[in-house]
Amino acid sequence: METSTDMIEEVQEVLEKLRPFLLRDGGDVELVGVEDGIVRVRLLGACGSCPSSTITLKAGIERALLEEVPGVKELEQVF
């Protein structure tokens, strides 16, 4: 299954909406890729080493992506 350009753009839009919250805490998120509904991101700055990063990923970013982007199945963190 291929990933459409539209899906990548939608994922980027969601990440842009969440970015100010991450920046406020000294972190950021980078989209690594989207393949077969699996979104891969890298947490940067303070988010990369934060003990709460798993919660940020699953409860925050993944939930937003699942709700707002049709076709997203899962979020994976890339180190």
Domains and CATH numbers, the chain: 5-77 (3.30.300.130)
pLDDT of residue 2: 54
pLDDT in tens, 5-51: 999 999 999 999 999 999 998 999 999 999 999 999 999 998 888 78
In terms of Cα–Cα distance, which of 64, 61, 8 is closest to 32? Answer: 8
* Whole-angstrom distance, CA of residue 34 vs CA of residue 20: 22
Q: What is the pTM of this model?
A: 0.89
